[in-house]
Amino acid sequence: MTQRTNGPMWVYLSLAAIGLLGTAWFNVQGVLHSQGNLVAAWFANPATSSLSVDLLVTASAASVFMVLEGRRVGVRWYWLYVIAAFVTAVGFTFPLFLAMRERQLNR
């Protein structure tokens, strides 16, 4: 049996922190400056439309992965990461899920 290290878990936790802080600032700014139509702002021009579609597809794939992998390896409350991704940011919850997955695999 091979010994697993905690290195990847700490990398994922660092990325989760960056994702939380980085997106929280812009989410607040977006809500304050979108004049109540945040979804329209996501598709305001071709550049933001591309990023929005990219994020939505990535968030969908990450959600499927979190449910399937969470069940497979026994991550507690795996479904909560999916819900939190749409409330906070997938840039926060997906690396956080990956960290908790590493933690579970290390047990």
Q: Contact, 17 vs 93, CB < 8 A? A: no
What range does the domain containing 35 cover?
8-106
Other beta carbons less than 10 A from residue 50's beta carbon: 11
Tell me if 2 is assigned to some domain.
no
Q: Is the pLDDT of residue 2 over 70?
A: no
How many domains in the chain?
Answer: 1
Residue 90 lies in a domain: yes
Mean confidence (pLDDT) of the chain:
91
Domain assignment present for 3: no
Domain membership flag for residue 82: yes
Instruction: Say which amino acid occupies 44.
Output: A
Residue 16 lies in a domain: yes
Q: Angle between the 78-87 and 90-106 helix axes, to the nearest 10 degrees? A: 160
Residue 55 covered by a domain: yes
1 domain residue, yes or no = no
Q: 0.85 cut: is pTM over it?
A: yes
Sorted by sequence, the CB contacts under 8 Å of residue 4 that are 6+ apart come out as 102, 105, 106
* Residue 1 pLDDT greater than 70, yes or no: no
Q: Is residue 37 one of the residues assigned to a domain?
A: yes
